[in-house]
Amino acid sequence: MLYQKNTYVSRKYHDITAKYNGYFNGNESLKYGTQKLEESHIDDYLNILPVFKHSEIITSKTHHSYMDKSIQKGSVVIQKHSINIRNKEYCKWIDDSYFLVAKAYYFKGEYIEAKKTFNFIKKKYKKTEIAFESQLWTAKCYIALEDYHSAESILDELRAKKRFPEKLDKDLHLTFADLYIKQEMFSDASDELKSACNLIKRKRKKARYYYIIAQIYQDAGNSKESKKYFELVLEANPEYDMVFNAKMNLARTLRTKKDLNQMKEKLLKMIRDEKNKDYLDQIYYTLGEMN
């Protein structure tokens, strides 16, 4: 690591250069790579959906080059722009760059390396927001490594901390939900997803979590609550695959003759819709179940 002078001019130069020449480009690459990763994810609606669209982290390579770029950009910022004097950092983009590198390792599926970096951030930047967030991501690493006990210990510890940042509450609930679904603790997962939805303002962003809650109630045989949450999915106007599957599942929750007749009319209308040509077998099967 280069030695940098701790002067006003030096700090300004390294802050600006670190942000715009390194961190910004690395973070944009991370965001684009994450988007590519999520686009490669295909939901299996026959099973309870995962909380996060990260199932292709290991098998998909389309996003790896973007993560490599993020690691490279973040590492250059740390090497060239750190002003660390007597264990105090004077360049404000260094902690963000470590965090960028750690997340890029995570999204490449290199969970051990990611965990090491998140732990370094936690120790180096104690009691800061980024330290709390790094602990949360350490728990995500443990979940990915199927070390559920270690993950739950960290999450319980974070939940108990009075200084845990409010802005991270939603992600804490979602990470708990992910942990519980992986362990088939579906009722607990449902509670966490409801808490997360209470913190999300935009309906469309809630759709996936509503769908999972509806699936959990459906599997538990609670048709009333399942119907309620499938209807909330439709109100949220998500992508068409989710809309279609929500309608199919909603049809299976209906009990009154009036509701069944209304749904049959909707399904018959769907048969005539060109965009449903690949789903006709499912529509006919659902109609058969309703008779």
Q: Which pLDDT does position 11 carry in this prediction?
A: 47
Q: Which pLDDT does position 81 carry in this prediction?
A: 54
Q: Which pLDDT does position 128 carry in this prediction?
A: 93
Of 19-23, 239-243, 253-257, 286-290, give the lowest mean pLDDT range: 19-23
Distance (Å, whole) CA 160 – CA 129: 15
Determine the average pLDDT of the residues in 71-90.
71
263 burial (CB, 10 Å; 0-12 / 13-18 / 19+) is: buried
Q: How far is CA 215 from the centre of its chain?
A: 18
Instruction: Check if the beta carbon of residue 2 is closer than 8 Å to that of residue 80.
Output: yes
Distance (Å, whole) CA 149 – CA 139: 10
Distance (Å, whole) CA 231 – CA 251: 11
Q: Which pLDDT does position 62 carry in this prediction?
A: 82
Determine the average pLDDT of the residues in 213-218.
97
pLDDT for residue 103 is more than 70: yes
Instruction: Check if the beta carbon of residue 195 is closer than 8 Å to that of residue 188.
Output: no
pLDDT band per the 50, 70, 90 thresholds, residue 89 = low
pLDDT band per the 50, 70, 90 thresholds, residue 94 = confident
pLDDT band per the 50, 70, 90 thresholds, residue 18 = very low
Please tell me what DSSP assigns to residue 85: E
pLDDT for residue 248 is more than 50: yes
What pTM does this model have? 0.86
Q: Which pLDDT does position 76 carry in this prediction?
A: 85
Determine the average pLDDT of the residues in 125-133.
94
Distance (Å, whole) CA 217 – CA 192: 14
Distance (Å, whole) CA 190 – CA 219: 12
What would the pLDDT profile of 53-70 be if each residue is shown by its tens digit?
987 787 777 899 999 999
pLDDT for residue 4 is more than 80: no
Instruction: Check if the beta carbon of residue 95 is closer than 8 Å to that of residue 124.
Output: yes
Closest CA to 251 of 219, 227, 218: 227
pLDDT for residue 284 is more than 70: yes
pLDDT for residue 151 is more than 90: yes
SS3 257: helix
